[in-house]
């Protein structure tokens, strides 16, 4: 089959990790008889440098014309990069938020899984790790604080900044349905995270989630306050299967969940709309401090490519092959710097990509 893929290398380590993921995909094509046609799309700083804005309509149209989008990362060093002298709505991050909105990517799936081989990279104590853990964060991605009205006003010489957090029941329902559907294919447990002891938006969230749960009697639902969840993630991460939460809580908790797996450099993500279309990107950022030095871990992007094969292209066998290849390379003891531990072999970005490719 032929598929059309939009590639967004982006900024910082983005281009080098996307290059390795593409190498892996090319190998998948060769082995399984597919062909991928790639269209490169500029986003973030890379787009600002060429077009003066972090996202163009042309970029959105190109992405929409494809079957899926594979992305690296966007953004630079806020202290030194000229991109951060621009007004906030013209900065790299605004481009990422805008493309999520334009493509209606409301469901962000962020798996956090502890590879047995990486136990030593996990910052938690052995008795907490136990047999390991395997959870997925289902984060609402196109609503809440990141998309509400915001402004800064000044009255009598005093500045006030206002950000608005709003959710309607339809936005909550569709993401809740996604979480329950995913839970059914896993261990059938949803932990819905909110701040219902304070926020109205959270109280509505809880009510709608409970309503959706009635259609899934086979799935256990529990509610957890976000501050407690932040604690439980390091106290006993095994308890979680599917964590369902709104945009900002999901942003924060997914970084925390990734850290307890040992490295944010391992974690993939998928952002989906109501159809099969999706944007796939590592959960980590653009790491400008190590960009271009062949130090970045390309595995999160490679695993994001695997998610793309599975969710957007229905190529399950191929997705399994990529995930197995990553597993084998770890078993063989190869590590990038971020997941390095004693007795393992340190490799760079390119070599890690080659090793995974060779296992397919």
Cβ atoms 301, 226 nearer than 8 A:
no
Which pair of tokens denotes residue 185? Answer: 């294919």
Shortest CB 234 distance to ligand IPM, Å: 19
How far is it, in rounded angstroms, from Cα 14 to Cα 335? 19
* Interface residue with Mg ion, options 117, 140, 171, 251 (CB under 5 A): 251
Range list of H helices, 236-298: 247-260
334 catalytic, yes or no? no
User: 96 contacts which partner out of Mg ion, ligand IPM, none, CB within 5 to 8 A by kind?
Assistant: ligand IPM
Catalytic residue among 49, 200, 211, 227: 227
Residue 267 burial class via C-beta count within 10 angstroms: exposed 0-12, middle 13-18, buried 19 and up: buried
Cβ atoms 278, 175 nearer than 8 A:
no
Please identify which residue in the block is written with the tokens 């604690």. 231
Which pair of tokens denotes residue 278? Answer: 């999706």
Shortest CB 254 distance to Mg ion, Å: 7
Question: Of 10, 36, 15, whose CA–CA distance to 308 is shortest?
Answer: 36
| Closer Cβ to ligand IPM, 14 or 360, answer by number | 14
The number of beta carbons lying within 10 Å of the beta carbon of residue 296 is 30
How far is it, in rounded angstroms, from Cα 322 to Cα 328? 10
Which pair of tokens denotes residue 285? Answer: 């950022």
How many of the chain's residues bind Mg ion (CB under 5 A)? 1
Spatial strand order of the sheet with 270-272 comes to: 35-40, 2-10, 68-73, 278-280, 270-272, 107-113, 134-140, 242-245, 189-194, 220-225
131 catalytic, yes or no? no
Angle of helix 226-235 versus helix 247-260 axis, rounded to 10: 10
Catalytic residue among 26, 77, 134, 255: 255
Shortest CB 95 distance to Mg ion, Å: 15
| Closer Cβ to ligand IPM, 307 or 355, answer by number | 307
Stretch that binds Mg ion, among 95-103, 109-117, 246-254, 342-350 (CB under 5 A): 246-254
| Closer Cβ to ligand IPM, 268 or 357, answer by number | 268
Shortest CB 195 distance to Mg ion, Å: 18
Q: For the chain, how far is it from start to end, CA to CA, in angstroms?
A: 19
| Closer Cβ to ligand IPM, 308 or 356, answer by number | 308
- Work out whether 338 is an interface residue with Mg ion (CB under 5 A): no
77 catalytic, yes or no? no
How far is it, in rounded angstroms, from Cα 69 to Cα 77? 25
Q: Where are the beta strands (DSSP E) in 204-268?
A: 220-225, 242-245
User: 13 contacts which partner out of ligand IPM, Mg ion, none, CB within 5 to 8 A by kind?
Assistant: none
**Dihedral over alpha carbons 92, 230, 186, 114 (to 10 degrees):** 80
Catalytic residue among 3, 115, 146, 167: 146
How far is it, in rounded angstroms, from Cα 69 to Cα 25? 13
Q: By Cβ distance, which residue is nearest to Mg ion? A: 251
Shortest CB 125 distance to ligand IPM, Å: 27
| Closer Cβ to ligand IPM, 81 or 357, answer by number | 81
Catalytic residue among 11, 67, 251, 338: 251
163 catalytic, yes or no? no
Shortest CB 321 distance to ligand IPM, Å: 27
User: 8 contacts which partner out of Mg ion, ligand IPM, none, CB within 5 to 8 A by kind?
Assistant: none
Q: By Cβ distance, which residue is nearest to ligand IPM? A: 93
| Closer Cβ to ligand IPM, 139 or 335, answer by number | 139
241 catalytic, yes or no? no
Site residues for ligand IPM per CB under 6 A = 75, 93, 96-97, 251
How far is it, in rounded angstroms, from Cα 33 to Cα 142? 36
| Closer Cβ to ligand IPM, 97 or 177, answer by number | 97
Shortest CB 77 distance to Mg ion, Å: 16
How far is it, in rounded angstroms, from Cα 10 to Cα 106? 21
Q: Which residues are catalytic?
A: 146, 195, 227, 251, 255
The residues of the shown chain that bind Mg ion, judged by CB under 5 A, are 251
């Amino acid at each position: 089959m032929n598929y059309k893929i939009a590639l967004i290398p982006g900024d910082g380590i983005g281009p080098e990790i996307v290059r390795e993921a593409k190498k892996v995909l090319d190998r998948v094509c060769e082995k399984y008889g597919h062909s991928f046609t790639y269209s490169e799309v500029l986003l973030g700083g890379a787009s600002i440098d060429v077009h003066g804005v972090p996202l163009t309509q042309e970029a959105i149209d190109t992405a929409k014309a494809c079957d899926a989008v594979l992305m690296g990362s966007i953004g630079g060093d806020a202290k030194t990069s000229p991109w951060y002298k621009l007004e906030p709505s013209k900065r790299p991050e605004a481009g990422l938020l805008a493309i999520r909105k334009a493509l209606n990517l409301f469901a962000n799936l962020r798996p956090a899984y502890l590879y047995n081989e990486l136990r030593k990279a996990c910052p938690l104590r052995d008795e907490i790790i136990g047999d390991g853990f395997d959870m997925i964060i289902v984060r609402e991605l196109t609503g809440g604080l990141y998309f509400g009205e915001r402004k800064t006003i000044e009255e009598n010489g005093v500045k006030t900044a206002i950000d608005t957090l709003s959710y309607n029941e339809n936005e909550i329902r569709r993401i809740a349905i996604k979480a329950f559907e995913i839970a059914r294919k896993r261990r059938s447990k949803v932990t819905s995270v909110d701040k219902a002891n304070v926020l109205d938006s959270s109280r509505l969230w809880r009510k709608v989630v409970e309503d959706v749960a009635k259609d899934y009697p086979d799935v256990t639902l529990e509610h957890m306050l976000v501050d407690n969840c932040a604690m439980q993630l390091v106290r006993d991460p095994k308890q979680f299967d599917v964590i369902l939460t709104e945009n900002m809580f999901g942003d924060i908790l997914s970084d925390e969940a990734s850290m307890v797996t040992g490295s944010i450099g391992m974690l993939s993500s998928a952002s989906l709309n109501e159809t099969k279309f999706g944007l796939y990107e590592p959960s980590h950022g653009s790491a400008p401090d190590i960009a271009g030095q062949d130090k970045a871990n390309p595995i999160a992007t490679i695993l994001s490519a695997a998610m793309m094969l599975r969710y957007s292209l229905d190529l399950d066998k191929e997705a399994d092959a990529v995930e197995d290849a990553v597993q084998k390379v770890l078993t063989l003891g190869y590590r990038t710097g971020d997941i390095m531990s004693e007795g393992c072999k340190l490799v760079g970005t390119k070599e890690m990509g080659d090793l995974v490719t060779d296992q397919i």
